[in-house]
Chains A and B, each alone.
Chain A
Amino acid sequence: MPATENTLSIWHLVVNASFVVQLVMLSLIIASVISWAMIFQRVTYQRRAKEAFTSFEKQFWSGIDLNQLYRQGNGRNEYAEGIENIFRSGFKEFTRLRQQAGADSDAVMEGCQRAMRVALAREEEKLEENLPFLASVASVSPYVGLFGTVWGIMQSFLSLSNVHQTTLATVAPGIAEALIATAIGLFAAIPAVLAYNKFSARAEALMSNYRTFAEEFSAILHRQVHSK
């Protein structure tokens, strides 16, 4: 292979691209880096939440005393995550209301359900954190890349107007350079789309698990309130 063919490498194209195209490429690469960081962060967080959910549910249905479970959580230094947070806020509200003198059972139930709803909303927020960013990267970066491409092709055709003898070789580098912008845009967008779909589905599944648990837990508390 002759050495001259190597001159048209990706690197040369990127370096020789016009300023706007370079800016587009840079922003797309930054978007890609950030979205990948979020992907990794989400993966670890959701995996942890799922593991915590399975282990806590196992513990919860093992017949352990609820007071003991609550105290176990108190002893831990870490901040409570996911499912345990819901349990704790519900149970705390429940015990607090029951200790008050003239609280009737419906008011107790209502109060602890409200507390659990709040905790659920917080958990949902945590689970779906960063997903909007992934969604916008997924939908916008192809357009940004396309903008870079259109700009680059425009430039290469503008420069073509000054040339008398038009060959493919005079246009080709400009178009190749412009197409790199689209390539980078797609490179950023495709993982973001996949990640967004996956994470939102998983967050949805976890949230429905949490809600089921909250219902079950409130059923248990209801039984306790009305058994008196």
Chain B
Amino acid sequence: MDQNRFSIPMMISVLLHIALLIAFLVNWNFFKTKKNEDYPQHFVMATLVDLKPKAIAKPQQNKEQNLDAKNFEDLKNLKKQQEQKKKEAEALEQKKKDQAAKESADKAEKLKQQKQKEEQAKAAKAKAEAEKKKKVEAEKQKAEAELKKKREQEAQEEKRRQEAARQEQEKHIADTADDANVKSYSELIRERVEQNWSRPPSARTGMVCEFVIDMLPNGQVVKVTLTKSSGNAAYDMSAEQAIKRVERFTEIKDVPIDVFEKYFRRFKFVFNPEDLRQ
């Protein structure tokens, strides 16, 4: 009796624990689903704008490896395809024109032959008339030839125009590429500064300060001047320290010299880190 004292309570206890465990394992997601219902999910749809990849494609040829090589390859292919298409369209147009000219020439030939036949048949008829006709024929041919020439000229003009348009487009691409480049490099600079930044406890979101960074083409920082304070001296100081600590933005030496002169020689740097406390 004394030994059996604990057998029933033990059984009840073990059963209770097993039941609890099962309840936990099966229903654990219950809590989560309930919570999720309170927060409706927001979907953000992002569409890739066509201009941007085009823009980045060209300057990436001489850029550092950390920009995506595969992406660049794709873009290159895309551009090639576009050019090819354009060329094909041109060729097709040319072909069409040639064909038209040839057809008209054929027609004229046929007409001529017929007329000659008629002439032969009507040899007896007045030679003068025939000569006249011949003259008319010649004139006609001449006119046709002129027409053809004119058409060719037009075609050439068209070609030239298209070429000009293409060049213009390429120029546009190059310009926007510069913009994108500048953007990506300033992003890199920002990243580097943030990495070297030791945030003061008083830093809060929404604090923005602006600097002008004077740089050498190799990325060496020569001078840092605060142009717009955030209103918090410690914050400004820490940002300036961070820039000075970076010392040399190694990525900058990959920037084409013209772009560097235009944008980075005196670089306006807005320091606005996003992952701060409220």
Residues of chain A touching chain B, judged by Cβ–Cβ distance below 8 Å, are 1, 5-6, 9-11, 29, 32-34, 36-41, 44, 79
Residues in A whose Cβ lies below 8 Å from that of B6: 37-38, 41
Residues in B whose Cβ lies below 8 Å from that of A38: 6, 9
B9 touching A41 by the CB < 8 A rule?
yes
Would you list 26 pairs from A and B whose C-beta atoms are within 8 A, ordered by A residue? A1-B29, A5-B32, A6-B29, A9-B29, A10-B24, A10-B28, A11-B28, A32-B17, A33-B10, A33-B13, A33-B17, A34-B10, A36-B9, A36-B12, A36-B13, A36-B16, A37-B9, A37-B10, A37-B12, A37-B14, A38-B6, A38-B9, A41-B5, A41-B6, A41-B9, A79-B1
Q: How many A-B residue pairs have CB under 8 A?
A: 46
Interface string of B11-54 (1 = CB under 8 A from A): 01110110000001100110011001000000000000000000
Q: How far is the CA of A6 from the CA of B31 in the complex (A)?
A: 12
Chain B interface main SS type = helix
The one of B1, B13, B24, B29 that contacts A40, using a Cβ cutoff of 8 Å? B13
Residues in A whose Cβ lies below 8 Å from that of B8: 40
Q: How far is the CA of A44 from the CA of B33 in the complex (A)?
A: 41
Residues in A whose Cβ lies below 8 Å from that of B14: 33, 37
Q: How far is the CA of A146 from the CA of B105 in the complex (A)?
A: 101
Q: How far is the CA of A5 from the CA of B32 in the complex (A)?
A: 9
Known: A36-B17, A40-B9. 16 other contacts (CB 8 A): A1-B36, A5-B32, A9-B25, A10-B24, A10-B28, A11-B25, A32-B17, A36-B9, A37-B6, A37-B13, A37-B14, A39-B9, A39-B13, A40-B12, A41-B6, A41-B9
Q: How far is the CA of A9 from the CA of B17 in the complex (A)?
A: 19
Residues in B whose Cβ lies below 8 Å from that of A1: 29, 32-33, 36
Among the interface residues B6, B13, B17, which one has the most CB atoms of the partner chain A within 10 A? B13
Interface size class of B (residues with CB under 8 A): 10 to 19
Residues in B whose Cβ lies below 8 Å from that of A79: 1
Residues in B whose Cβ lies below 8 Å from that of A41: 5-6, 9
B200 CB, min distance to chain A CBs, angstroms: 20
Nearest A-chain residue to B9, judged by Cβ: A40
Residues in A whose Cβ lies below 8 Å from that of B12: 36-37, 40
Q: How far is the CA of A13 from the CA of B14 in the complex (A)?
A: 22
B9 touching A44 by the CB < 8 A rule?
yes
Q: How far is the CA of A36 from the CA of B5 in the complex (A)?
A: 14
Nearest A-chain residue to B24, judged by Cβ: A10
Nearest A-chain residue to B25, judged by Cβ: A11
Residues in B whose Cβ lies below 8 Å from that of A40: 8-9, 12-13
B191 CB, min distance to chain A CBs, angstroms: 13
Q: How far is the CA of A160 from the CA of B166 in the complex (A)?
A: 55
B29 touching A29 by the CB < 8 A rule?
no
Among the interface residues A1, A33, A37, A44, which one has the most CB atoms of the partner chain B within 10 A? A37
Nearest A-chain residue to B2, judged by Cβ: A79
Q: How far is the CA of A79 from the CA of B10 in the complex (A)?
A: 23
A29 touching B13 by the CB < 8 A rule?
no
Nearest B-chain residue to A11, judged by Cβ: B25
Residues in B whose Cβ lies below 8 Å from that of A29: 17
Among the interface residues A9, A32, A34, A41, which one has the most CB atoms of the partner chain B within 10 A? A41
Q: How far is the CA of A124 from the CA of B216 in the complex (A)?
A: 91
Nearest B-chain residue to A38, judged by Cβ: B9
Residues in A whose Cβ lies below 8 Å from that of B9: 36-41, 44
Q: How far is the CA of A137 from the CA of B264 in the complex (A)?
A: 69
Q: How far is the CA of A41 from the CA of B14 in the complex (A)?
A: 13
Nearest B-chain residue to A5, judged by Cβ: B32
Q: How far is the CA of A169 from the CA of B17 in the complex (A)?
A: 31
Residues in B whose Cβ lies below 8 Å from that of A11: 25, 28
Nearest B-chain residue to A32, judged by Cβ: B17
Among the interface residues A1, A32, A79, which one has the most CB atoms of the partner chain B within 10 A? A1
A200 CB, min distance to chain B CBs, angstroms: 18
Q: How far is the CA of A36 from the CA of B12 in the complex (A)?
A: 8
User: Can you list the 7 inter-chain pairs with the closest CB atoms, starting with the nearest?
Assistant: A40-B9, A36-B13, A37-B13, A41-B9, A37-B10, A37-B9, A40-B12
Interface string of B135-155 (1 = CB under 8 A from A): 000000000000000000000
A10-B33 contact, Cβ under 8 Å, with A33-B14, A36-B17: no
Q: How far is the CA of A148 from the CA of B24 in the complex (A)?
A: 20
